Structures are given as C-alpha cells and as structure tokens.
Structure 1
Amino acid sequence: MKKHKLLIAILSCTLSFTTVTSCNDFLDAENISNSNEDQQFDSVADSFTALIGVYNQIIGDDGYGQRLNLYYPQSADDFKTSGDYNCNDRRGLSTYGACTSNPDLNKPFLKLYSGIERANLVIKNIPKSPVYQTGSAADKALMDRYYGEALTLRAMFYYDLIKNWGDVPMQMVPSSDLESVYLPKTDRDVIYDKIIADLETAAQLVPWRSEASVSNTRFSKAAVKGLRARIALARAGYSLRRDPRIMAKGSNSEVYYKIAYDECKEIIEKGQHGLNANFEATFRALHDNTEDAAHEVIFAIGAYGGNAQTDSKIGYYNGMRHSDNSNWKSSGGINAIATYFYEFGKYDVRRDITVASMQINDANQAILATGVLCTDGKFRKSWTSVTGTAQNLAIDWPLLRYSDILLMFAEADNEINGMPSAQAIDAVRQVRNRAYAGNLGQSGTIPTDKAGFFNYIVHERLLEFGGEGLRKYDLIRWNLLATKIAETKQKLTDLLNGTGQYANVPSYLYYKASPYDRTKTAQAALQSVDIYVQPGTTREDVYYTPSVATTPTGYTRINWRVAVTADYISSPLKGYAQYFEANRKELFPIYDDIILSNYNLKQDYGY
C-alpha cells in the first residue's frame, strides 16, 4: 500500500461528531457527494483508489502512527508513558487520569469515524458499480476483494472505538443516507455482532496471502480471520458496562470462543504463516517495510510519506532512546515498568529485545539505562536508515502476528473444552520454545488444568507482546486490569525494599560505554557494553546478584533497583497508574466538544 499515491481521499464529514466549522477545517480533501459517487466507482482502478482512502485512516499521528498504538494502550503491567502527570496530555491517558478536555482524545475518535464514513461509501457503492454488475469475472473478483477489505477496515475502526470508549454510535451507511446524523450510543455487543458477521463475509472475499502477490500491509484472508478471532474473544470477555456500571461478560460467550477457535485453527492448518525462528528479525523487517521470512506478521499497518497524516512516529516517540546529539535522535517516550524486566526468565531471548536496558549517548556509545528508564526495545530508530532529527520513520506497526494466532487458539480451546487439548498445549509450546531457543531445558512446564493453563497464557502473552499495544486490552477482557495493577504496585514495593523475589536484585550496575554498532542484534549490542561481573558469577547473573558496595575502577555506576522510589510507585505526579479506578477507568471519556456537538451523546462511566 505504501507504493500507491493517494490520488483522491474520500472524506465525508459525519456531522454527529463535529460542528460544520470544525469539520471544514479538519477535512480538507475532496468530499465525495451523492452526485459523483457513481463516477468514483465506475472502474476497478477508481474503486481501488477509494479503498486506499479507507486504508489511509488507520495510520498517521491520530491513528496507528502514534496515538492509537503508543498513547492509548498505556498503562498495563508492561509499559508506561514517561514523564509527569498532566490530565490534558498523553501522561493523563497513561495514569488513568485523563480529563474530558484532553486533546489526545479528540482527533483519534474523529479519525475513526472518518474511516467508517469512507468505508461506508465503498461498501455502499461497490455492489452498485457497473463493473461489479456487468464486468469480467476477474474484475468482479477484484471488486469483491475491495468490498471485503472495506468491511474489514470498518470492523477494525469500530473495534478501536469500542475498546477505548465502550458503547458508541453505530453508523453503517454514509452520512448522506441518514435521516438524522445525531446518533445515540449503541450497545457494544450489537456492534460486535454486526462486525463479526461482516468479517465472516469478508473472509470469503479476500484471498490468502499466496493467492495474491501483495504485502502484509493489505488484509489477506488470514488477517481477516485473525482480526475476527481477536474481536470474538473481546465479545466473549469482560467490558465496562453503562448500566449498571460494572465489568461484565458478554452474553453467550461460548459462541464467540468457538468462533475464535475455528478461525485460528484454519489459519494454523492452512500453513500460510509461521513463527520466525529469529524473534528479533520479526521486528527488524518492520523497519525497512519488508516481510519477515516466515510471514509471522500477518498484518502490518503501513507507514509512508514522511508526514503526520500517513507516516508514523514509531521508533522516534517510543523505542530505545538515542540522545539528542547522537546520530539518531529519539525520545524513548515509553518506559518499561521496573518489574517487567523480571517477568522474563534469565534465558528468555525476548527480554533484551522487548526491554531495552541500554541507550545511545551523545558520542554514539551504548550505555546502560537506569532501572526506571528502560524503554520498549522492539522499535529502534537506529535500525532504520534514517538519521538526524527526523520523527517520521516509516516503521510499520505489527497489528497481528502468528504467535497471537497460536495463543488465541490455545485460549479458546481451553475455554471450550474445560482443559487444554494436546493441540492447544503444542501451540503454546511453539511460542515458548522459540523464546528459549538454545536453552529449552529452562523453558519450564506448561500446566494441563484449565485454570493453570489460562494463567500460563495470561503470563505468556505478557512476555510475547510487550510494547505491541495488546496488554491493557487483554487484561480488560479478562477482567484482570485492576488485579494486575494492584499486583504490580505490590511488586514495585517489594522491588523498592529488595524483598521477596527481588531480594537479590542489585541496587546498582556498573558499566563502561562502548561504541554502538547498529548492525548488531539487540542482544549482541547489549553484550558489547562492558558490565562489571563479580568474580565467581557470569554475565547472565549480573541482574540477579547483589551489587558490590564500591564502584569498580574504570566503571560508571547507575541506579538499578534503587532507581525505584516511593514516588515512582504512588506519587500524584510520577506514580504508576495512580488514578486508576475499577469499574470506571477501564474506558476513556469522550472529548468534551464531541459531546457538545451531538445532543444524543453523554459521557457515562462516571465522567
């Protein structure tokens, strides 16, 4: 999709969510009205241009270029936004203390509805197109595919709305076809059922990867089915309801577990995608817009153009930090919660890729980060060819990976059968074995009872998808967000005090800076940093051995365990998830001006 220039953008303002004046300011591309809709869809090429216009709404600063994937998923028990609390910016979102005036809540909401409007125009007009009705079989197949992709994109937009705001207005036709644009909220289960049905239709129209020579930045059949499985699990799970305002499961959960099971099983059996033997290579490929060798990334959100509308700040805003005067300036704006490092086993290869415990200084040297300033490491500006102060890096976002298919399959199997089948255990083992490649004896035993297996999956997803924007939403659908926040605060307290499982965590680490070679693997780059190893121990033991009292000659000391303070845990400005309230803060408020523009909307959820 990145190779296609946006020739025409389908933008039709949904007046239920913005005033006429602000709409005209915000939407400055061509508006496709009823008078020229027919012309827009009178050829395959023009219809494809319209579809590109829908795809364009998933990327950019207000989509999966920054806010939807980097701001909104914070915080769970893996990462948090850096900096001090402010209710009117991204840190308000991360601490569960966002005000209804927070501007980061505004344009993503509008952009998602703009995407729905564009998708509605495609969905309405493709069946009416003369190409669809009287064209060749090949052209009709292409139009079917575009129709399926538009259904999928609309489903994705609604899923993003629901998981962040709960019940929202449901609009399944273009605004010009509505009697009134001032729509009330629709129960999310009604929307879920509609989009789950739409995705079933879409899966019949969109080809498998091998049947169409396209990149993973367009929806394939596996991507449609994987998204359907993810949404089905959300429908089966918990969410914050409006009345009464409690976390409650959706009805008929077993139906939706079966949908997730069937979709994932078909993807697995089809064999179009697999686990990349090299965990890091899966993410490296996203930095130069290629596909990993095993096609593990089933769907990636493509970024391009070097601008705020169609590119991403992935790797600049988030990712490993590169100092301002280094060759690669990047902010490292998302920090690993100090305990997350220790959720990984000592020999888990995912740890040093997921949690960047090093950073690059002004002299382009690799140095250690403190215990509270480690960042998410799957995205690194220095893994791209971009240097200098550029913020838009064209790094694609991995929305769906094959490992997710394996773990969703295993979870659904366990729920359906009351215990995991051999196939479910094998699916989890595949993910686990890759993480412990070369050290399989350290990978542990997978439980075979229902509760034990579920808890194992809960933890395995924490390790596998750290920094990929899934964890908070997983915890919500399991009704574990409040539990895990409380557990993490207790773990942070234990780490602060050096007690329990953290009794041997060093207070300090000692290192010597080393030249940074961006071509090295994440683990090799970290290994190049000379970290002081006490006599009688190994490099692997450094993070699990109490530190010596005196800084060794020639080494620099950094705070590791002692970087965690009482303020880091619970202060009003710096605390972790300090404003979270169960049965309220699982969802965001709707931005004030959006409420004011539609008399049928209200905040709900105690805002």
Structure 2
Amino acid sequence: MNKNKFLTILFSVAGLLSVASCEDYLEVESLSNTAEKQQFDSVSDTFSALVGVYNSTMGDNTYGQRMNLILTQSGDDLRTSGDYNANDRRGISCFGAIPTNTELIKPFLDTYAGIERANLVIKNIPLSPVYQTGSESDKKLMDRYLGEALTLRAHFYHDLIKNWGDVPFQELPSADLPNLYLAKTDRDIIYDKILDDLLKAETFVPWKSEGNTTSQRISKGAVKGLRARIALARAGYSLRRNPQQMIQGSNPQKYYQIAYDECKDIINSGQHQLNPSYEGLFRSLHTNSQDATNEVIYAIGAFGGNSKTDSKIGYYNGLRHDDTDWKSSGGINAIPVYFYDFTKYDVRRDVSIAIFRVNTTKQQELQTAINWNDGKFRKSWTSITGTSQNLGIDWPLLRYSDILLMFAEADNELHSGPSQDAISAVLAVRQRAYAGNLGQVGTIPTTKNEFFNFIVKERQLEFGGEGLRKYDLIRWNLLETKINETKVKLTQFMNGTGMYANVPEYIFYKKVPYTPANTAQQNVLDIDFYTASGVTKADVFYNPNQSVATPPGYTKVNWRLAMTQPYISGDPIKSYAYYFQPNRKELLPIALDVINSNYNLTQDYGY
C-alpha cells in the first residue's frame, strides 16, 4: 500500500472510532458493548479502528509540531527562536516552563487519547469473531493490527515518560476501569511492560518487504528499533521522584542486551540501509517519495492540509522564507557553536544548519550567527507554495543510522569497549557524512570511554533537529554537562579564543538568487563571499578578518560579533538555557488543568 493510499484511508476513517478527543483528562465517550463489538466484527472495521490510533500520532499537538519541534528543545544543537516567555514554546526551550504553559496540555491529552484508542484495539481484537470463524489470512491480518496497536501504545507511553517521568498507566479502555483517577506508576514498571508488549508485537508485524509496508506504517524493523530505543532509555538515567535525583535504571546490562539484539536483528535483516545521500533522505520526506534504501524505518505521516492530521514541519521550523511563494517562519535557531562542531568536510553541516534566509525577492541573505535556523526541513523542497502552513512533510521518527549508532553504543557497554562490528557501524555513518572526502573521516577510538564520547558527539551531528538530542543527553546524565560546556564554548566563540580563534568577526557577501534544486552545500557556495587572497569560499568561515572596511558592493554581516554576553548568561529573557536546574528541569511540569482534573495526580519535581 503506497503512502497516499494509506493516509487517505487514515484521514477518511479516523473519525469512525468512537473515542473522545480527551478534552478532559481520560474523558471517554460511553460505548455500549454492542457498539464496541461491532467496531471489531470484521477485518475492515478493525483496520478503521487501527488507523484511528495512527491518527493520534499526527497533527499540531503531537508529531505535526508540539511533540517533535517544541517539547524537544533545548540540547546543545538548537533552541527555539525569540525571547523567553514562561507560558509558551520559548519557556520550554529556556527550561522555564510553568504548569500554565499553553504548549503542555494538548500533547499530554492527545497522547492519552491515542493510548485509549490503542487500548480498545488491543482489548477487542482477541475477542473478535474473526478469531473464531475467520480465514487464516484474516486472522493473520488481525494479528498484524494487534502488533501495530501494541507498538503505537508503547510509543505513546515512551513519549509521556521522556517528557513527564512517572505517569498514570492504564492497559484497559477507560470504560472498563473502576476508577479513572489514576495515580502515577513508576516508569520502570511501564518500561518493562511496553518492552514485553513490543517483544510480542515483533511476532505479529511483518518486515517491510513481507508486508508491502511504507515507512508511514509500522513494520517489524520499526517495532525492533523502537524497542531498542526504549531499552536504552530504561538502561539510562532519568529524574526520579524520591529521591529527586538523576538515577540510572536498575540492571542496565539487561537492557543494553535488548538494544544490542534488536539492532543486530535489523542490521542482519537486510531490510534497511543508509541512503548514500544524507540530504536525499530528507528531501524524500518533502516529496512523499519512498526512499529506495528504506533508511527511514518509520515516519509519522502527515496529510490533509489541516491541524488534526497534517504537520507544520518545514513551516514552523527549517529554512526561513520571507518570500510569498514559500512563506515560512524559521521558528527554531541553531546554537552558533553547533555549526563549528561539524568540520568543513562534513556534508551534514549545511543540511542541518541554514546560515541564510530567503528574502522577499527570493535571494539568499546571510544571517548573523544568532539567527541561523535548522535546515533539514524546507518549504521550498516541497511542491506547496503560498502561505499554507501544512506541508504534508512526514516526521522521520526512526532511521537506520540510529540503529547503527544504538547498536554501537550497546555493544560498547556490554563488552567494555567496542567490537569491530560496533566500529564498522559507526564508520558507515561517518563515511556517508564525509562522502567525497573519506580521508577526513578520522580515527574511531577503541577504548570504552573514548568510544562512548565519540558516540555522544556523532549522535549530535547525525540527528540535529530530529528531536533526539535532549533526551539522549538526559539518559546519559549529560544534559547539565553539555549545557555548561556550550556556555563555555559560546564565551570562547564571542571572544575568538580556543577552537574559535580563527573564526571571523564578520563576513562580507553579495546576495544571490536562491535555487532550491541545488544542494544545501551548493546553496552556501553559491553565495558571493568576499575572501582574502588565497582563501577559498569553503574556508571563509575559518579565517580571521583581514580588513575592517566593507568592500564596494558587499554587505557586512556580523558572524562572531553577533554573540554577546546576554545570549550566553545573565539575561533572563535572552540567555541560552537560562532556567535550567539539574535534578529538576530534566522533566516538564504537567499542565495545571490536568492536575486539577485528577485528585490522585501529583505535580512533583518542584513545580
């Protein structure tokens, strides 16, 4: 089934499942037993219920904007644009969100709505008459639907835990519960349950090639990859309630082994490979074209041109366009030193970070260092023009490069150092990043601590802007460390010291027409930079200024000079991660309206 057909069905039948949208916490429409049975009395009706579960992953409140682009800020790569406000997206990015923050309630409630829908499917498939009288092929389809529902429920709970810690846990539809006012369940209990569910789901869901599955639908590779990701979270650190500290999960080696085994199965399956073009895999998401290498193992679909099922990916975030044809806002900024975490030979740099904006006349305007945007999503890479905010761009929830790096990380932990297989997995990711310059790949370390630090850095470079970095740093208990390191680096960047001694204070350039068909790297090289004698365009970012006077016809843009102390520290409105507090701000507060609707639910973590 191709993507458009699957999403057309998803969009048209999602409303058939009679579950409330959860305007109030765990509120659910009362279904009669007869109506519930009828929903699952055939394969086709059950599929309608299943796509209702998929529908809960889509739209503004989950993976169309909030869950992937807003709640994920900030790590040491990106931050939300604009000045701090405790009650909106910028409060989250500064670690200063409060329980009345408007971005908190809808992701929480819509995720529970997805859990409710999944619970109905999981409960009723085994009770369906199809299991009693249906054909073997129908029973197999029902098993597949059950596996997909189990996987989606696990995904929903992981989203809740990574943002809010311990949360209420229910495995039954709300109508079957004697009490809807549930207290929090320890996250390790939830993790162990959903890891078991995913192990069960693996037996039901086919590999991509066996099920004619697009990346927008869960395959066995997606089940295994999500299980590996959740196992690493279970093995890692998280902020606990009592004591209120960052504490590692119990028996971590057990969970490293799960991650290792699952990733190895995917690697050995031959179902997924790295796309040889780093940029190409992201462009395919903008054109609804299937990546032939299947690097994107699972993507959250976007469809329908509305806030319920589509996404604002590429409009809210990504390259900023001021022109009317591709109008987009550029709502996420790159932290300037992230640009210099890449080497000049790394093709990921210019894909991940957009150092220019497109002005009203479709020319590239170089931006000051504090105004660069994330660059993996660009409205001009789609066929949609005008002021539309819904672009139908899918969200790459799980990629094969993540499998390779998770495998390498787990291998290193299990064996007190990387095996040759782990080194080879990392090398494959590095070699793609340095396509055309393989001599610059560098040496991959072979001792445990050095290899771990290499993985920490490589994941930053590989997944910038993909909603993983903050949560990686939390599970490694490195969020505080990396925030402090970034502030030191920003100070050095401002002063032109350390590794930034040769970074120019400003850059001179001339505007050039923007050509979206060009590669991201070529777009940068297309800019007419003024360079000193003997300095190439590619090296303009790595050479100090030779002259203060602006050459005739060129525009002067502050590069290193754009960095000021208020950006780094001391300014409660503008400073990076100003409100971060260790052993507190690793998690978000639960929305006040949710707390007020459940007398058994506690806020915790000092909020």
Query: Is TM > 0.5 for Structure 1 vs Structure 2?
Result: yes
Query: Is the alpha carbon distance of 1:456 and 1:33 closer, same or farther for their aligned partners in structure 2, counting shifts above 3 Å?
Result: farther
Partner of residue 413, structure 1: 411
Tell me whether 1:280 sits opposite 2:273 in the alignment.
no
Q: Tell me how large the CA RMSD over aligned residues is.
A: 1.3
Partner of residue 588, structure 2: 588
Tell me whether 1:6 sits opposite 2:12 in the alignment.
yes
Which one-letter code corresponds to 1:385 in the other structure? S
Q: Name which of structure 1's ranges 518-527 and 478-487 shifts more when overlaid on structure 2.
A: 518-527
Within the candidate set 370, 373, 384, 1:372 is matched to 370
Partner of residue 568, structure 2: 569
Which one-letter code corresponds to 1:111 in the other structure? D
| Partner Cα distance (1:588, 1:290) in 2 | 36
Corresponding residue SS for 1:104: coil
Query: Is the alpha carbon distance of 1:549 and 1:185 closer, same or farther for their aligned partners in structure 2, counting shifts above 3 Å?
Result: same
Which one-letter code corresponds to 1:442 in the other structure? Q
| Partner Cα distance (1:6, 1:563) in 2 | 49
Query: Is the alpha carbon distance of 1:353 and 1:331 closer, same or farther for their aligned partners in structure 2, counting shifts above 3 Å?
Result: same
Corresponding residue SS for 1:3: helix
| Partner Cα distance (2:30, 2:563) in 1 | 53
Q: For each residue in 1:88-125, what CA deviation from the matched residue of structure 2 results, as whole angstroms up to 9, or x when unmatched?
A: 00000000000110111001100010000000000000
Alpha-carbon deviation of 1:31? Answer: 6.5
Partner of residue 178, structure 1: 177
| Partner Cα distance (1:269, 1:411) in 2 | 17
Which one-letter code corresponds to 1:449 in the other structure? T
Is the CA contact (8 Å cut-off) linking 1:12 and 1:175 kept in structure 2?
no
Q: Show structure 2 runs of 5+ residues with no match.
A: 1-5
Tell me whether 1:560 sits opposite 2:566 in the alignment.
no
Partner of residue 296, structure 2: 297
Alpha-carbon deviation of 1:11? Answer: 4.6
Query: Is the alpha carbon distance of 1:66 and 1:14 closer, same or farther for their aligned partners in structure 2, counting shifts above 3 Å?
Result: closer
Partner of residue 109, structure 2: 110
Within the candidate set 539, 543, 565, 1:541 is matched to 539
Alpha-carbon deviation of 1:133? Answer: 2.2
Tell me whether 1:515 sits opposite 2:513 in the alignment.
yes
Which one-letter code corresponds to 1:604 in the other structure? D
Q: What aligned pairs does 1:287-436 form with structure 2 within 5 A after superposition?
A: 287-323=286-322, 325-436=323-434
Alpha-carbon deviation of 1:14? Answer: 9.1
Which one-letter code corresponds to 2:8 in the other structure? K
Q: What aligned pairs does 1:3-42 form with structure 2 within 5 A after superposition?
A: 3-4=8-9, 5-7=11-13, 8-13=15-20, 18=24, 32-42=31-41
Q: For each residue in 1:151-204, what CA deviation from the matched residue of structure 2 results, as whole angstroms up to 9, or x when unmatched?
A: 000000000000000000000000011110110000000000000000000011
Percent of residue pairs identical: 64
Q: What aligned pairs does 1:199-218 form with structure 2 within 5 A after superposition?
A: 199-218=198-217
Corresponding residue SS for 1:510: strand
| Partner Cα distance (1:519, 1:14) in 2 | 41
Which one-letter code corresponds to 1:585 in the other structure? K
Q: What aligned pairs does 1:125-140 form with structure 2 within 5 A after superposition?
A: 125-140=124-139
Corresponding residue SS for 1:273: coil
Corresponding residue SS for 2:244: coil
Q: For each residue in 1:301-343, what CA deviation from the matched residue of structure 2 results, as whole angstroms up to 9, or x when unmatched?
A: 00000000000000000000001x4421100000000110000
| Partner Cα distance (1:156, 1:33) in 2 | 28
Corresponding residue SS for 2:103: helix
Partner of residue 118, structure 2: 119
Is the CA contact (8 Å cut-off) linking 1:10 and 1:32 kept in structure 2?
no
| Partner Cα distance (1:35, 1:207) in 2 | 32
Corresponding residue SS for 2:493: helix
Is the CA contact (8 Å cut-off) linking 1:300 and 1:400 kept in structure 2?
yes
Corresponding residue SS for 1:372: helix
Scaled by the length of structure 1, the TM-score of the pair is 0.97
Within the candidate set 473, 476, 485, 2:474 is matched to 476
Tell me whether 1:448 sits opposite 2:446 in the alignment.
yes
Partner of residue 3, structure 2: none
| Partner Cα distance (2:8, 2:404) in 1 | 31
| Partner Cα distance (1:561, 1:76) in 2 | 21
Tell me whether 1:255 sits opposite 2:249 in the alignment.
no
Q: What aligned pairs does 1:89-108 form with structure 2 within 5 A after superposition?
A: 89-108=88-107
Which one-letter code corresponds to 1:182 in the other structure? Y
Alpha-carbon deviation of 1:57? Answer: 0.3
Q: For each residue in 1:225-275, what CA deviation from the matched residue of structure 2 results, as whole angstroms up to 9, or x when unmatched?
A: 000000000000000000000000110100000000000000000110000
Is the CA contact (8 Å cut-off) linking 2:25 and 2:109 kept in structure 1?
no
Alpha-carbon deviation of 1:52? Answer: 0.4
Which one-letter code corresponds to 2:346 in the other structure? D
Alpha-carbon deviation of 1:10? Answer: 2.5
Is the CA contact (8 Å cut-off) linking 2:131 and 2:139 kept in structure 1?
yes
Corresponding residue SS for 1:103: coil
Partner of residue 498, structure 2: 500
| Partner Cα distance (1:35, 1:222) in 2 | 36
Corresponding residue SS for 2:371: coil
Alpha-carbon deviation of 1:293? Answer: 2.2
Which one-letter code corresponds to 2:184 in the other structure? K
Q: What aligned pairs does 1:591-606 form with structure 2 within 5 A after superposition?
A: 591-606=591-606
Query: Is the alpha carbon distance of 1:386 and 1:32 closer, same or farther for their aligned partners in structure 2, counting shifts above 3 Å?
Result: farther
Alpha-carbon deviation of 1:33? Answer: 4.1
Q: Name which of structure 1's ranges 528-537 and 491-500 shifts more when overlaid on structure 2.
A: 528-537
Query: Is the alpha carbon distance of 1:364 and 1:194 closer, same or farther for their aligned partners in structure 2, counting shifts above 3 Å?
Result: same
| Partner Cα distance (2:21, 2:174) in 1 | 6
Tell me whether 1:190 sits opposite 2:196 in the alignment.
no
Which one-letter code corresponds to 1:477 in the other structure? R
| Partner Cα distance (2:32, 2:582) in 1 | 45
| Partner Cα distance (1:599, 1:164) in 2 | 21
| Partner Cα distance (1:11, 1:320) in 2 | 39
Is the CA contact (8 Å cut-off) linking 1:87 and 1:102 kept in structure 2?
yes
| Partner Cα distance (1:19, 1:441) in 2 | 56
Query: Is the alpha carbon distance of 1:100 and 1:442 closer, same or farther for their aligned partners in structure 2, counting shifts above 3 Å?
Result: same
| Partner Cα distance (2:266, 2:582) in 1 | 36
Q: For each residue in 1:381-409, what CA deviation from the matched residue of structure 2 results, as whole angstroms up to 9, or x when unmatched?
A: 00001111100000000000000000000
Which one-letter code corresponds to 1:209 in the other structure? K
Q: Name which of structure 1's ranges 420-429 and 133-142 shifts more when overlaid on structure 2.
A: 133-142
Which one-letter code corresponds to 2:12 in the other structure? L
Alpha-carbon deviation of 1:219? Answer: 0.3
| Partner Cα distance (2:32, 2:98) in 1 | 36
